[in-house]
Amino acid sequence: MTSLPFAIAWDYNSWAWKRKQESMDSGFASKLIRDTIQRHGETRGIMTSAVDISELGDIPAEARLPTPHGDFRIRVFHEESTGFDHVAMTLGDMSGPDPVLVRVHSECLTGDALQSLRCDCGAQLDAAMRQIQEVGWGCIVYLRQEGRGIGLHAKIQAYNLQDRGADTLDANLMLGHPVDNRDYRVASEILSSLKVENVCLLTNNPDKILQLQELGINIVERMPIIVGVGRENRDYLITKVDRMGHDIDSDSLNGGD
């Protein structure tokens, strides 16, 4: 059995007190994200070096994908360094002239497939597909970055700590992981391959916008995607607003079931 970091044996209330004091600094969230990324061996701040993606096989991994929200096209991109297959789901023309509605969505097995209410991921994916259908064109880039990039096993360990009182940010740190380990270089390569030039990004996360812009994606507009708020995930979303800088208005946070 793998042992967990010593921090988990601490009294959580004592550990959280110091974090609470630090979080009163308005710059704490973004600084913490950068510091923890660097502390875990990645000096990326934002990594801009190229990643290799390819479309494998003589038969294209591209096909029609009928969904409750219309007939999308699904296209698979293989990431050489990790062996992961990432997905682009497109509807309509990617060339504009108006900005293409884009959702860059990181994998969430529990929310997307198992309908967990601990997060808003499944609701966001469904809402993004519905909005793309309503507009008539758009793209979902589905990245294999489970648990904000720490993987499914560690994510469920983090859930265990959250059941004992930690929030979503502290749980990652207590396990020895960065707050957010996602890497959007693959997304930028996929959007370039699709020849998407101008993007209206569906997101509540300013850091995602910053990373994609620094990777050369022209984001001309942001559209919030505030859905799925409820009793089971309200504290999680409040943490993302207060400590990770996400943009969700208080009325939406307090209006769920």
pLDDT, tens digit (0-9, with 9 covering 90-100), for 55-79: 666 678 999 999 999 999 999 999 9
Residue 242 lies in a domain: yes
Domain with 104, as residue range(s), is 6-254
What pLDDT is attached to residue 6? 43
For the residues 146-153, what does the mean pLDDT come to?
Answer: 95
Which residues are part of the catalytic machinery? 180, 182
In a domain, 1, yes or no: no
Residue 141: name the closest of 208, 191, 72 by CA: 191
What local confidence, expressed as pLDDT, does residue 18 receive? 53
Bridge partners, 26 (sequence order): none
The answer to whether position 165 is within a domain reads yes
Average pLDDT, the chain: 84
- 188 and 210 in contact (C-beta within 8 Å)? no
Whole-angstrom distance, CA of residue 145 vs CA of residue 127: 20
Q: Are 105 and 208 in contact (CB under 8 A)?
A: no
Q: Is residue 23 assigned to a domain?
A: yes
Cβ–Cβ under 8 Å, residues 239 and 173 = no
Is there a contact between 171 and 8 (Cβ–Cβ < 8 Å)?
no
Is 170 within a domain? yes
User: Does residue 136 form part of some domain?
Assistant: yes
Q: Domain of 143: which CATH number?
A: 3.40.50.10990
Q: Give the rounded percent of residues in the chain with a pLDDT score beyond 90.
A: 69
Each residue's pLDDT tens digit, 165-202? 999 999 999 999 999 999 999 999 999 999 999 999 99
Return d(Cα 51, Cα 140) in angstroms, integer: 19
Does the residue 16 lie in any domain?
yes
Considering its fold, how many domains does the chain have in total?
1
Does 46 map to a domain? Answer: yes
User: What is the pTM assigned to this prediction?
Assistant: 0.81
